[in-house]
Each structure stands twice: as C-alpha cells, then as structure tokens.
Structure 1
Amino acid sequence: MQEKEVYDYLTAHGVKASVQRVAVMQYLLQQMGHPTVDEIYQALVDHIPTLSKTTVYNTLRLLMEHGVVRMLTIDGKNANFDGVTEPHAHFLCHQCGRIFNIESPSELLAAPPTAPQGFAIETADLYYRGVCPDCLAKQDT
C-alpha cells in the first residue's frame, strides 16, 4: 500500500494518521513476516530519526484498539504483529522461528465453539507449529 492509501485506511478506522503511525502501518502491511516491536523500530528509525520504541509500542497499541493490527504470542516469548486482520491461521516454524500466515478452513475461524455458560468469546487464534519448507529442504540436503 502506498503512503496515501495507508493514511486513508487509518483515517477510515478512526485513527489520526501521524507520520509515525502511517510508517508503522505501512511497514506491517509490506512485511510477509510478523515483526516484533524491536524489528519495526530498527526498520524505521533510519527513516524517522525521532522515532522511539515507546512511540512504536504506543502506535501498535492504538492500532490494535482500532482493529487494524493483531498481536500474536504464538511462541510464548515475543509479541509479534500482523497487519492482516481478516480471519486466518498462523504457522510457527520451530527451527527458524519465522511465522507464516496460512489459510485455514473457514469453519475453524468463523464460528468458535460454544462457550460455557456465562462466557463470551470475543476472539480466537489458531496456531500451528512445525517445520517450514525452507527448513525441511535444509534437512534433506
């Protein structure tokens, strides 16, 4: 997405689009991976020298509140961020640590199981773990 499109996207979701917010959102939408706060900061600080990690944290929190970013805790150690908010599953390669978006049967993501009496399910995450094709290929050689 171009900067103007990201600006319009954020504005349409009720987010006041600052230079930092547009840069963080654009970076997330351009990444095929799921970066951490540190990775986002390192990628953007050379282009926005006044950027701080606190600004990145606060921006991501705001974007999550407005539903334009998802936080993943698939590996139990890191918070990773995803700019794709449509229902989908994630795959963690336990060898290289990369996280991939993967399609999953829609019935697994669209209709969560019936909640016990008195519970209200608001979100559901579906994670798979295993070995990615690149790591499998390295094993075969």
Structure 2
Amino acid sequence: MSAAPASSLPPRGTRQREVIGRLLQAAEGPLDVPELHRRALGELPKLGVATVYRTLKLLQEQGAAHMVTLDGENLYEASGRGHHHHFSCRACQRVFTLHTCPVALPAGTIYPGGFVVEAHEVTLYGVCPECAKNSL
C-alpha cells in the first residue's frame, strides 16, 4: 500500500490554526498561552502547549493575531479590531477589550515638553461587572 502524495495531504496544523484563531476572535479580551491552551483542549484534546506557541507565531506572521503586553505578561488577541484598550480585573484576573477610547490623544499631538504622540495604549484596572456583582 503506497502513501498518498504529499500534495494531497492537508497543510500541517490547519485544524490548530483554525481553532486557535477562532478562540482568539471569540475571546472577550486578550488571552495568555495557558488560558488559550486550556480553551483549545476542548476541541483538540492532544494539543501541546508548544503547538500553541508555534501557531501564535504563525498567526502573528500572517497578521491574524498580535501580542499585547500587560504588566509584563504576554497576551494574544485577534488582529483587525481597530483602536481599542483593555480593562484588567484585579479579582478574576481576566482582561477585557474596551471598544471606546478614554483618551482623546490622536497621533501627531504634541504633548507638553515636545513629545510627539504616534500612538497610545491604555489599560484600566479595577473589578469587572461580574466580580463587582458577586462581591455585593
């Protein structure tokens, strides 16, 4: 019995890319690798964490995902969400995407002292609605 020609096989990792990409799209905010791995195991029970890292690298190279660094931790989110910021819940540790900008500081603004603004990132910290409700 001969093996099928390599060209007839699906590209390696396609299912992993599809699942991880979909999980990033559906997430309420950026995810760290352990959380992304945990969520993906529901559909890919044999998925290794190294595959998650490789897939994230590929998704970043393709422009489908990007890394966000919050408090020194690398998180990942789907690209193409436009200008947005994040809210980090101190109670449950989840990070949420905020779709409104709390800072009116467009690129090209000259900040006091002569600093020329090119972009900005804002992370708000506090308690998310679910944790606030549970603490009452």
Q: Show the counterpart of 2:5.
A: none
Q: Is the 8 A contact 2:28 2:96 kept in 1?
A: yes
Which residue of 84, 94, 104 corresponds with 2:101?
104
Q: Between Structure 1 and Structure 2, which shows a larger proportion of strand residues? A: 2
Number of paired residues?
Answer: 121
Q: Show the counterpart of 1:53.
A: 49
TM-score by length of 1: 0.66
Is residue 24 of structure 2 the alignment partner of residue 24 of structure 1? no
Is residue 90 of structure 2 the alignment partner of residue 94 of structure 1? yes
Distance 1:114 1:68, change over 3 A: farther
The 5 Å alignment of 1:76-95 reads 76=72, 78-85=73-80, 86-95=82-91
> Runs of 5+ in structure 1 lacking a partner?
1-15
Q: Between Structure 1 and Structure 2, which shows a larger proportion of helix residues? A: 1
Q: Show the counterpart of 2:30.
A: 34
Q: Is the 8 A contact 1:112 1:124 kept in 2?
A: no
Q: Show the counterpart of 2:9.
A: none
Q: CA-atom RMSD, angstroms?
A: 3.2
> Runs of 5+ in structure 2 lacking a partner?
1-11
Q: Distance in 1 between matches of 2:110 and 2:13?
A: 38
Quote the sequence identity (%).
30
Q: Is the 8 A contact 1:69 1:82 kept in 2?
A: yes
Task: Detail structure 1 runs of 4+ shifted over 3 Å in the superposition.
Answer: 105-108, 112-115
CA deviations on 1:69-90 (whole Å, 9 max, x unpaired) are 12222133x3222115321011
